[in-house]
Chain A
Amino acid sequence: MAADQPQIHLVIGSQFEDIELVQIVVEESLRKLELDEAAAHSISLAVREAVANAIKHGNQQNPEKRVEIDFGVEGGEVVIEVTDQGAGFDVSQVRDPLRPDNLLRPNGRGLLFMNSFMDAIDYSFKPEGGTVVTLRKRLASTPTARGPKEENER
């Protein structure tokens, strides 16, 4: 990530409690960018979902695996990369949580949250294993609710 400003690099374990730590750091970083409260909340929630997915689906809550979070600003966008050490996944196989027969499923809305709250999301998969989810949001933009393009449990 080629950042315009010093970026933050966090490494956490694969336990859900660590999401709170990430949240504190991300929210403080967003506060310094003077984003409006709604936009900051949207980004914060999207990062929460990406980290939760990395812990749950990527690292399978394996305590020996790590999740890395890189937070920065480049080209007028907040850019957050979340990297796990899992086996990766097929985005096209992710279930659409908005399909009527999926509405009452208790899980599978993580990507919907991310897609709804960010301007762009990219997935890349390292040859040695591990998924990198890149979340982008323009600094001048306001939160928008967009539907998901993918489907699954994430």
Chain B
Amino acid sequence: MKRWKLFLPLTFFLTFCVLLYVGLFMENKSELPSMLLDKPLPEFSLKKLKQPQEAVTEGDLKGEVLMLNVWGSWCPACKVEHPYLMKLAREGINIVGVNYKDEREGALQWLDRLEDPYLFNIVDEDGRLGLDLGVYGAPETFLVDKKGVIRYKHIGIIDDRVWKEDLKPRYDALQKELVK
């Protein structure tokens, strides 16, 4: 064996570390608020998950305060989050799903098996809407006001703490805003 070959593992490892280092600070970046904050929802026209013949556009999301929850049946953390979304849905919170980069079959099965906390789901199969929204992964949740403007973004799962400390106060405040 040539000596230089014995350096290959080291080289590989160092490259790998660079990647991890970059990854570490990327996580930082993703904690920054989305560029779209306080801007209207991006334009889109996509199908609904359960009613594939119906199209949804950004206009359909106006009129009510709602939470736009980005999820996929491939995402383990979404599984953890799901029971809490069900609880919120039962309390009458409006949640619209963005089924992000998912297979239709899997997503339907998920909703069937776990029940459906969403008013309806927007199918974002190729992730275009996700890209426009600045989505980093799933789950992510956007608070959208009555005028269809994104007012807050939460990355990661929603649990009791996140809801009570971050989301509920904002959700309630948005409810009280008047539409001129």
Note whether A and B form a binding pair. Answer: no
Binding site for A on B (CB under 8 A): none
